[in-house]
Amino acid sequence: MSGIFVVLEERDGRVSRASWEALAAGQHLAAQTNEPVSAVVLGANADDAASESATKAVAKVIRIGHPLLARYTPDGYIAALHQLIHSERPAQVVFPHTYQVRDFAPALAARLGQVLISDVVAIGDGPVFTRQLMQGRLTGNYRHQGNGPCLISVQAGAFRADAVQTGTAEIVTFEPQIDPASIRTRPGEPFRGSAQTVDLGSAPLIVAVGRGIKEADNLSLVQDLASTLGAELAASRPICDNGWLPMERQVGSSGQTVAPKLYIAVGISGAIQHLVGMKGSQCIVAINKDPEAPIFEVADYGIVGDLFEVVPALTEALKGA
């Protein structure tokens, strides 16, 4: 058993950033164990993904081809990867920790009689795999035991996609045998939440505006920021009470509770009624001219300044990013 396989995901023909991060993790592991790293691609646009992967410093790119893999299903992917791993016998298999991987990798590991060590944030000597416990309040160090491949998935952002070394690699094809009857689930086309209703609850990025905006006419400033960022617009209660934004955009104890990846609070003081609606956000940025505003207590990043200056500056900076 030897070699490190990194399974890459593609979106519309381009390998995702999380996958490059997984490849970086694979290369990091290879430095420890001195094993060759191979990229594995499968799915609808496997050809494009394979070509892109072939420009990286990997031993080879394995392109898994089968018509039944054009649409992701756990049954299809597990069957294909199981056959590949069984045939090629790598020592390590690395995945990016995406929703898709979470859907099939644990079952794949079980079929191999193994356990997936998921959501790894660091790889130490050993190798020792570090992951977070108790919602980030503890870290745990895991070690793999026994014979058989070690499967891990790495957390987005744990490794840097730009750390992947470039090179050239040959592309080989692997054709698994998949019985159509074994595909038991029928996936539909992905769709966005309904266009009519505002679903702040599932928005990954939110820009929220509060009383600091002073007048309805000034909202366009914040709307520009939101659209540049690709974020949903939300508001604290007084804004909705005044009718400047519809009630469904209200975040707070009498509105919606949200937990997006990024919450930018513009001109919001941070009264408890608002805080309880957004305190679960992963990253909170506060822009307020009052340095004592309670919102700064829950913010990860704060800018103490006049929002009428800061917001346009931020919009500009984002456009250039």
Partner 1 sequence: MLSLTFTLAEPQSFALWEKLLLAALIIVSAGLFWRRFGVVLDRILQSKKDPGFHLGNLARRVWDFVSEVLLQSKVIRQRPLPGLAHAFVFWGFCAFALVTLNHVAAGFGASFLSPSGAFGRFYFYFAAAFALACAIGILGLLIRRFLVRPRWLGAKLSCESGFIAFLIFALMVTYLAAFFTTDAAPATRILWWAHTLCLLVFLPIIPHTKHLHLVLSPATVFLSRGGFSDIPPLAGDEDFGLVAGQDLTRIVSLQAYSCVECGRCSEHCPATNTGKILNPKEIILGVRAYLNDIGPRTDEPLLGKYNSQEAVFQCTTCGSCEFQCPVGIEHLPIMIGLRRGAVNTGAWEDDYGAKLFNQLERGSNALGISAAERDKFIQREQLPIFDGTQEYCLWLGCMGGYDPKGREIVAAFARVMKHLGASFGVLRKEKCTGDPVRRLGNDLVFQQLAEANLEILAQSKVKRIVTICPHCVRTIQEDWKAYGTPPPIEHHSEFLARYAEQLPKRVQDKEKIVFHDPCYLGRYRNVYDEPRAVAATAGEVVDPPRARERSFCCGAGGGLTFLGEETGERVSHVRAQELIATGASTIGTACPFCNSMFRDALGASNQPAPQLLDIAQLVARSLPATDSGEPGKK
Partner 2 sequence: MKIIVAIKQVPERDAQVRIDPTGKWMEEADVQFAMNESDAYALEEALQLKEKQGGEVVVLSAGPERVGTTIREALAKGADRAIHVDADNLQELDSLSVARLLAEAIKPESPDLVLTGLQSDDLGLGQTGVILAELLGMPHASLILTVEKTDSGLSVKRELENGWFQTIELPLPAVLTIQSGGNKLRYATLMGIKRAKTKELRRIAASELAAPPASLAVLESIALPQKQRSTQILPGTAKEAAATLVEKLKFEVRVL
Among positions 246-275, residues that touch partner 2 (CB under 8 A) are: 261-262
Find, among 102, 90, 47, the residue nearest to 69 by Cα: 47
Assess 137 for contact with partner 2 (CB under 8 A): yes
CA distance 23 to 37: 8
State the binding partner of 238 from partner 2, partner 1, none, CB within 5 to 8 A by kind.
partner 1
Q: How many whole angstroms from its chain centre is CA 276?
A: 25
Nearer to partner 1, 70 or 276 (CB): 276
CB 3 within 8 A of CB 38: yes
Rounded CA-CA distance 15/5 in Å is 16
- Considering only 42, 109, 123, 235, the residue that binds partner 2 (CB under 8 A) is 109
Pick the binder of partner 2 from 70, 88, 142, 279 (CB under 8 A). 142
What is the Cα gyration radius of the chain? Answer: 23
The partner in contact with residue 254, picked from partner 1, partner 2, none with C-beta cut-offs of 5 to 8 angstroms by kind, is partner 1
- 206: β partners: 232, 263
Which residues bind to partner 1, rule: CB under 8 A? Answer: 211, 237-238, 241, 253-254, 270-273, 275-276, 279, 294, 297
| Cβ neighbours, 10 Å, residue 195 | 6
Which phi and psi (to 5°) does residue 11 adopt? -130, 120
Name the residue among 210, 214, 229 with its Cα closest to residue 286: 210
**Nearest CA among 53, 68, 72 for reference residue 8:** 53
From the list partner 2, partner 1, none, which binds 26 (C-beta under 5 to 8 Å, kind-based)?
none
DSSP tag of 250? B
Smallest distance, partner 1 to C-beta of residue 133, A? 16
Binding flag, residue 290, partner 2 (CB under 8 A): no
* Shorter beta-carbon distance to partner 1: residue 94 or 275: 275
Using CB under 8 A as the binding rule, the residues of this chain from 162 to 191 that contact partner 2 are: 184-191
Of 57, 59, 107, 247, which lies in the binding site for partner 2, with binding defined by CB under 8 A?
107
Q: Which partner, partner 1, partner 2, none, binds residue 104 by CB below 5 to 8 Å per kind?
A: partner 2
Smallest distance, Å, CB 205 to partner 2? 7
